[in-house]
Amino acid sequence: MEGKKIKDSQVTTIQQMTHQDANFAGNVHGGVVMKHIDSTAGIVATRHACSNVVTASIDRLDFYSPVYVGDLLILKAGVNMVGKTSMEVGVRVEAQNYITGETRTTALAYLTYVALDTEGKPAQVPPLIFETEEEIRRSTEAKARRQMRLAERIREYKAKAIQPDSKNV
């Protein structure tokens, strides 16, 4: 399978936040931001895999500053790492006051997607072609996050196995 450059699937989306996205104080709900993160990252994953994808996990989502009604929500996303059938997509979220031009980092997120074939089964994804040291660094960091996710999953399974009363946890 031929590799793909990271820049070939990167996207930036921009959406103006309105009153329907916010609470009574004018702060945009975190869930609204999360939906835009998942949608933007899904576009990146689909472009890279050239197939349908599903969100497997949101590994990390940290909010740093609020988004207000009227702000432009700017989401910049790209593939950080690929496995056999999965890929990590990183998303940087910025809020921009379109009147003053002030831009602030609002959130960072890492999501894992699995590519699907036409029958809904996991499908192989193209390898990444790295062009910069920054891309290599991001991939190395993504591999470390993947190892942490796998170790945590093993810990969770072991904890559930030794707790007989946790049937539906």
Q: What is the pLDDT of residue 168?
A: 46
pLDDT in tens, 122-153: 999 999 999 999 999 999 999 999 999 888 88
Q: What is the pLDDT of residue 169?
A: 44
Question: What's the pTM value of the predicted model, to 2 decimals?
Answer: 0.89
Q: What is the pLDDT of residue 162?
A: 58
Which residues pair with residue 128 across a beta bridge? 4
Strand arrangement of the beta sheet that strand 52-63 belongs to: 11-16, 72-82, 86-96, 103-116, 52-63
In this predicted structure, the answer to whether residue 167 has a pLDDT above a threshold of 60 is no
The domain segmentation of the chain, as residue ranges, is 4-129
Which residues pair with residue 113 across a beta bridge? 55, 87
- The architecture in CATH of the region 4-129 reads Roll (3.10)
pLDDT in tens, 104-118: 999 999 999 999 999
Which residues pair with residue 52 across a beta bridge? 116
Q: Is 32 exposed, middle or buried (0-12, 13-18, 19+ CB in 10 A)?
A: middle
Which segment of 69-73, 75-79, 94-98, 155-159 scores lowest on mean pLDDT?
155-159
